[in-house]
Amino acid sequence: MNIFLDGQSLQIEQVIAVAYEDATVEITPEAWARVRQSRAFLERIAHSGKVIYAINTGFGSNASVLIDDAETAILQTNLLLSHATGVGEPLSREAVRAMMLIRLNTLLAGYSGIRAETLELLQALLNHKIHPVIPSQGSVGASGDLCPLSHMAIALLGEGEVQIDLPTGGTTTISAREALQQASLQPIQLAYKEGIALNNGTTFMTALGVIAVHESKALLHKALQSVALVLEGIMARRQAFDVRIHQLRNHQGQLDIAQQLQTLLQGSTLFGMEAGKLGEALQSSASIVPPSSLPEVGEFCVGKAMKFSTHFYKTLPTEDETPRWLRWETLANLAERKINPQDAYSIRCTAQVLGASAFAIEHLAQVMAGELNAVTDNPLLFEETEQVLSGGNFHGQPLALPLDYLKIALAEIGSLLERQVNKLTDTNHNDCLPPFLVENAGLNSGFMIPQYVCASLVSENKVLAHPASVDSIPTSANQEDHVSMGSISARQALEVLGNVKKILSIHALTACQARDLREKQLQHWGVPYKTAEKTQPLYQAIREAIPYLSEDRLLYKDIEKAYEVLGKM
């Protein structure tokens, strides 16, 4: 697959193709023409004798320091070397490739004055799969993502470390200079403005934001499949998912979620099973319900009664040897519960909650789509008016706010999933399934502690969801006195996303266990049912890797396997 860059039309899907699938990057002739034209303009003004920021001056609060023409190349090199001071875990391979691609596209717009040969080397690094080691911490999200972008850019000088792929699989870390030699590439020597063109912009947070959008959409898609299994296992009331209700709300995300769940659950009779259908199993069991109680059961089945009488329960057989969740009185209790038309909010309001999160994800996608083709370095060159203008397009505030919004949206997905896990494991609220979804509760703890794990992750997400963008710390001797912290928003969004993936793994395990138990229960009572065809792929994938939990075992291994299964779907 080839991706063509022109500096103007890069799309999220193309970034993902390069980041995840190693698509080859090519550049259009029109983009090269703009780059060369912009560079020629820069060369003219650089020799004009005028004082121009970042070309013959220092940077930030050093902007008043004039630089001799003979030292302008040293100025740009020093900028990158001095700014490559990141700390923390290195970025993922995918994030680094996304950064490189987005930076390349930004500079191809033709307003930065960078040389074509510099961009050719950046392109070559991508296509040769030479990935700079970029620490994840160190940017405040204004003046651009200076620190991480400097780590990316020093590889062009043959400085720093890079990761390369091994023929046998995996990666290894070597010096950038060695990697360039192995690929028959030459490091560059920077010229006017090239250092600041490479490290000044929102590329770090944009790259992480694009990855967050891509993975959040995939997460939500998988979460809906797992939720559909829960709705079958709990035999959720159908009314709350009637599309007519959601059409009246005027929120497209909510309507989309309701429609998707309806599609996933098409053909299921577990979903929305009514009290009368359960009562019919009592009515047809002559050996269980004596003739004297049949009229009462008949009244219940046609909706003329909400409860069975004490006399009815007394006529049922004694079943001391039968687990409580399989007794006939439990069937009667379950039928009575289904008379109530409303589930708890964690079930009934699924479309409202997940729909709001879906809207937030889509909002960030729109912001990122625009930022992919934004020019965000400083200063910018406008040849048509013979001007070099200094501004603040590097400021990350337009990204920081929606990235914080995404953190909240993802945290809420996790919160809803945890509430559903809690509901399924609570025998007082799981519509007559056994405690903690295990047959011999007491001797076995079942899914008790996985719910604790979900609660822990949800609580952690609440801390991470605090908006980073409400903070600002002045930098560069108060010249850069308001910063966005959008880089922190982006990193935390991926942390929250990772936690929700773990919650979803437990949710999917719990959902499959609940449906298995419900099927066992209904089969025992002779209640006919059908599962939805479209809930089967996730259920089968989980069950092929992880068996039904009949008694306690090491569940952390099951959770790890569920995480792997979901990652491959």
User: Hey, what are 23's tokens?
Assistant: 């698509």
Catalytic residue among 53, 313, 345, 563: 53
Same domain, 447 and 486: yes
Same domain, 410 and 327: no
pLDDT for 294 equals 86
Same domain, 311 and 376: no
Residue 236 lies in a domain: no
Chunked mean pLDDT (size 10), the chain, 569 residues: 96 98 98 97 86 80 77 89 96 98 98 97 98 96 92 98 92 97 96 94 97 98 98 96 95 97 97 93 81 86 88 88 94 93 95 98 97 95 91 94 98 98 97 96 96 98 96 83 92 98 98 98 96 98 98 97 96
Residue 549 lies in a domain: yes
Last-in-domain residue among 285, 307, 337? 337
pLDDT for 110 equals 96
Cα distance between residue 109 and residue 35, in whole Å: 7
At 220, the amino acid letter reads L
Last-in-domain residue among 168, 200, 232? 200
HSE (side-chain half, CA atoms, 13 Å) at 93: 15
Residue 190 lies in a domain: yes
Same domain, 562 and 429: yes
Total residues found in the chain within this entry: 569
CATH number at 364 reads: 1.20.200.10
Same domain, 374 and 454: yes
CATH number at 79 reads: 1.10.275.10
At 386, the amino acid letter reads E
Going by the DSSP 8-state scheme, the letter that residue 455 receives in this structure is H
Residue 376 lies in a domain: yes
**Residue 521 CB contacts under 8 Å (≥ 6 apart), including other chains:** 325, 326, 330, 432, 433
Specify the number of domains making up the chain.
3
Per-residue pLDDT of 224-257, as tens digits, reads 999 999 999 999 999 999 999 999 999 999 999 9
For 504-528, what is the HEC assignment?
Answer: HHHHHHHHHHHHHHHHHHHHHHCCC
Judged on CB neighbours under 10 Å (0-12, 13-18, 19+), 362 is middle
Query: Bridge partners of 175?
Result: 161
Residue 61 lies in a domain: yes
User: Hey, what are 246's tokens?
Assistant: 């959601």
Same domain, 130 and 160: yes
Residue 295 lies in a domain: yes
Residue 249 lies in a domain: no
pLDDT for 525 equals 94
User: Hey, what are 108's tokens?
Assistant: 């191809």
Residue 118 lies in a domain: yes
Query: Is-contact 279 296, C-beta < 8 A?
Result: no
Same domain, 310 and 413: no
Last-in-domain residue among 307, 337, 367? 337
Same domain, 327 and 367: no
User: Hey, what are 358's tokens?
Assistant: 């879906």
**Left (φ > 0), alpha (ψ -120 to 50) or beta: where does 330 sit?**
alpha
Same domain, 435 and 555: yes
Of residues 421, 429, 440, 448, the one with CA closest to residue 326: 440
pLDDT for 286 equals 66
**Residue 375 CB contacts under 8 Å (≥ 6 apart), including other chains:** 106, 109, 111, 112, 393
Per the structure, the complete domain to which residue 83 belongs is given by 2-200
Per-residue pLDDT of 195-220, as tens digits, reads 999 999 999 999 999 999 999 999 99
pLDDT for 565 equals 98
Query: Is-contact 379 201, C-beta < 8 A?
Result: no
User: Hey, what are 278's tokens?
Assistant: 């359960």
Largest CA distance in the chain: 107
Q: Active-site residue 53, yes or no?
A: yes
User: Hey, what are 558's tokens?
Assistant: 């099951």
HSE (side-chain half, CA atoms, 13 Å) at 344: 15
Same domain, 145 and 188: yes
Instruction: Evaluate the omega torsion of the peptide bond into residue 132 and state whether it is cis, within 30 degrees of 0.
Output: no
Same domain, 427 and 557: yes
Same domain, 331 and 473: no
